[in-house]
Amino acid sequence: MNALINDIAVIKTKHSKINHVDFDSLKFGSVFSDHMLECDYKDGKWQAPKVVPYGPVTLDPSAKIFHYGQSVFEGMKAYKDTNDTIWLFRPLDNFKRLNISSKRLAIPELPEHVFMNGLKTLLQVDKNWIPKKEGSSLYIRPFVFASGNGFHASPANAYKFIIATAPSGSYFSGEVSVLIEQTYSRSANGGVGFAKAGGNYAGQFYPTQLAVEKGFQQVIWTDDNTHEYIEEAGAMNIFVRINDTLITAPTSDRILDGITRKSIIELAESKGIKVEVRKLTVNEVVEASKNGSLKEMFGAGTAAVISPIASFGYKNVKYELPKQNDSYANYLKKLITDIQTNKAEDPFGWRYKVE
Ligand code: PLP
Ligand code: COI
């Protein structure tokens, strides 16, 4: 069935998969909704986006994405409240960051209407795929990659923008144990660490595998120059609570400017929690652990929301974090998810109604 919704052509699937999905036991990002948004860049401009059935993409073996990794992505979530209203969280920030990433990878920037109208139309078409169960949401993955052909190591002349969605449960189950990385780096000054470039994640897999072999789930990334400063927690920003102060590293060209991170900073401050955005050394965290002032560490990002860290490894010593009755992680997670899911007032204007 073809239709035009919000000026976007919609080609609906004839074979919905929705009845085969168990919405009560969703994993993260492993089943995909019926449709996706697709938009091509060719002849020097972005063409009209369309909603099409979710399915494989055909590419020439010389497509530059395969050889030179020219690709960027975003991660967002849609929520449905008790009245079946659909909500996004700060979607324009994801749109802007996608273009910041694209610019760094020499990918043509997307017009706002392609991203926003495309996303809203897709969500309306697949609204039945948005889970209502507490802790579940529709994970949204917008991405752009070089579909243009040729072995020449230069930017492609054709790109594809796709938004695919996946009804999802939580990213991690329970608390995680992390290894503070002393050898490998995820990013460097002047590099692409601030961009959500696909290659940044590929580069993390091997060091993370090594950490997993040692019994950890994630790596805490430190600065590439000295490995003395704490920067990110896997694919999340990191917060450390020493006494009653929350500390997080300042963003830089090595660190992703996380939307969850900046929301948590504002939320915590609005509740009277002291937040310091400053460089934080591994030594300071180790010393705080030894003298009992280290109370919590947690990762923050769209997929995991807030992921408490139970222990960290550093130079062959494992440091356990104490259990907190007044955990900032739990408190802030509840505050932010209540705003996201329309269970609480949103004094910041972050929530975005899809209509
Ligand atoms: N840091 C990295 C490297 C990430 O991949 C992500 C995930 O998106 C984040 C931080 C958190 O960013 P956000 O809160 O915008 O999802
Ligand atoms: C997100 O938090 O949305 C991310 O993009 C992390 C991801 C690599 C799963």
Answer whether residue 145 is part of any domain: yes
d(CA 97, CA 251): 13
* Residue where one domain finishes, among candidates 124, 141, 168: 168
Q: What CATH number is associated with residue 186?
A: 3.20.10.10
Q: Are residues 313 and 208 in the same domain?
A: yes
Q: Is the predicted pLDDT of residue 175 greater than 80, yes or no?
A: no
d(CA 172, CA 259): 19
The CA-atom distances, in angstroms, between 328 and each of 164, 239, 273 are 33, 10, 9
SS3 content of the chain, % helix, strand, coil (to 5): 25, 30, 45
Average of pLDDT values for 289-304? 97
Indicate if ligand 1 lies below 6 Å from the C-beta of 234.
no
Q: Are residues 146 and 214 in the same domain?
A: no
Interval 208-245: pLDDT, tens: 999 999 999 999 999 999 999 999 999 999 999 999 99
> If we measure between CA atoms, which residue out of 228, 340, 326, 335 comes closest to residue 284?
228
Q: Are residues 249 and 331 in the same domain?
A: yes
Q: What CATH number is associated with residue 157?
A: 3.30.470.10
Interval 100-140: pLDDT, tens: 999 999 999 999 999 999 999 999 999 999 999 999 999 99
Model-wide pTM > 0.85: yes
In this structure, which ligand is nearest to the CA of 259? 1
In this structure, which ligand is nearest to the CA of 248? 1
Q: Are residues 192 and 326 in the same domain?
A: yes
pLDDT for position 1: 57
Residue type, 333: K
Q: Is 317 helix (H, G, I), strand (E, B) or coil?
A: strand
Q: Are residues 43 and 107 in the same domain?
A: yes
Answer whether residue 150 is part of any domain: yes
Report the atom number in ligand 1 closest to the C-alpha of 93.
15
> Residue 5 contacts by C-beta under 8 Å, 6 or more apart in sequence?
51, 121, 124, 125
The residue assigned the tokens 């002849």 is 43
Average of pLDDT values for 39-57? 98
> If we measure between CA atoms, which residue out of 154, 142, 143 comes closest to residue 64?
154
Q: Are residues 57 and 84 in the same domain?
A: yes
In this structure, which ligand is nearest to the CA of 231? 1
> If we measure between CA atoms, which residue out of 236, 224, 242, 229 comes closest to residue 290?
242
Average of pLDDT values for 150-169? 98
Residue nearest to atom 5 of ligand 1 (CA): 235
Ligand 2 center–CA 88 separation, angstroms? 16
* Residue where one domain finishes, among candidates 118, 151, 168: 168
* Residue where one domain finishes, among candidates 150, 168, 186: 168
Max intra-chain CA distance, the chain: 66
Residue type, 205: F
Contact 228, 284 (CB under 8 A): no
Indicate if ligand 1 lies below 6 Å from the C-beta of 256.
yes
Answer whether residue 355 is part of any domain: no
Q: Are residues 226 and 207 in the same domain?
A: yes
Q: Are residues 196 and 52 in the same domain?
A: no
Q: Are residues 82 and 65 in the same domain?
A: yes
Report the atom number in ligand 2 closest to the C-alpha of 236.
2
Interval 247-273: pLDDT, tens: 999 999 999 999 999 999 999 999 999
Answer whether residue 350 is part of any domain: no
Structure-block tokens of residue 197: 């470039």
Average of pLDDT values for 85-95? 98
Domain that holds residue 161: 2-168
Answer whether residue 51 is part of any domain: yes
Report the atom number in ligand 2 closest to the C-alpha of 171.
9
Contact 68, 194 (CB under 8 A): no
d(CA 330, CA 283): 26
Contact 249, 238 (CB under 8 A): yes
Burial, 45: exposed, middle or buried (Cβ in 10 Å; 0-12, 13-18, 19+)? exposed
φ and ψ at 146, to 5 degrees?
-80, 110
Q: Are residues 156 and 27 in the same domain?
A: yes
pLDDT for position 173: 78
Q: Is 209 helix (H, G, I), strand (E, B) or coil?
A: helix
Average of pLDDT values for 314-320? 97
pLDDT for position 36: 98
Overall domain count for the chain: 2
* Cα Rg of the chain (Å, integer): 21
Average of pLDDT values for 313-325? 96
The CA-atom distances, in angstroms, between 243 and each of 40, 256, 264, 285 are 51, 26, 18, 11
Answer whether residue 61 is part of any domain: yes
pLDDT for position 5: 86
Q: Is the predicted pLDDT of residue 313 greater than 70, yes or no?
A: yes
**What does the mean pLDDT of the chain come to?**
97
Structure-block tokens of residue 109: 């920037």
